[in-house]
Amino acid sequence: MAKRLFDLAVAALALLLLAPLLLGVALWIRLDSPGPALFRQERVGRHGRTFRIHKFRTMRTDAPGLLLTVGRDERITRAGRWLRSRRLDELPQLLDVLKGDMSLVGPRPEVPRYVRHYPAALRERVLSVRPGITDPASLAHLDEDALLARAADPERAYIEQVLPAKLALAADYAAAATLASDLRILLRTLRMLAAR
């Protein structure tokens, strides 16, 4: 209950304070390339229920290809590259926190295609908590795009190397999460963003 109240209070305050920035970013995206400012995608949330995640659109709307982003992906727009480098494309997920689909801190929600690769031993634990905007796994894998760019088969590398490492961290988080640990992760995330 304390975690949910904390999420609601911080998300609401952040949306209020960041409203001018969010509107400015949305306008920039619309001017930079054709298409909507927001991108929505199906993700798997708590207890395996799917929901539509909100992000600022960082790719061309006509861009086919992998679900993954690999290196200097040609599908990414000019605005999108800058937003991704600072993780600002994730800010609309504050709306998902208010809705109750997400938390500020929790395992990053995956698309159903990759959730099917979760080992049974970890699946239940990882999906026992609300997914989050940030978590230890995302902080530990900031160079994921570059790593996948070096792979002959990026999707296979993600499924066989990156995903198991992220799942182990996500399971550890889910097993021992407290409001105090969430605060520490949020502070680490803010420090990381300030340094970029």
Summarize pLDDT for 22-80 with one digit per residue, the tens.
999 999 999 999 999 999 999 999 999 999 999 999 999 887 766 788 777 889 999 99
d(CA 77, CA 98) in angstroms, rounded, equals 28
Answer yes or no: is pLDDT of 13 > 90. yes
Q: Is residue 25 packed enough to be buried (19+ CB in 10 Å), middle (13-18) or exposed (0-12)? A: buried
CB of 22 closer than 8 Å to CB of 91: yes
pLDDT tens readout for residues 152-177: 999 999 999 999 999 999 999 999 99
- Is the model's pLDDT at 123 over the cut of 80? yes
CA 57, 62, 65 angle in degrees (round to 5)? Answer: 90
118 pLDDT higher than 90: yes
- Closest by alpha carbon to 168, among 115, 126, 124? 126
What 3-state class would DSSP assign to 53? strand
What is the pLDDT, as a whole number, of residue 10?
97
Which of the four pLDDT bands, split at 50, 70 and 90, describes residue 121? confident
pLDDT tens profile 102-111: 999 999 999 9
pTM for this model (two decimals): 0.93
Tell me which amino acid residue 76 is. Answer: I
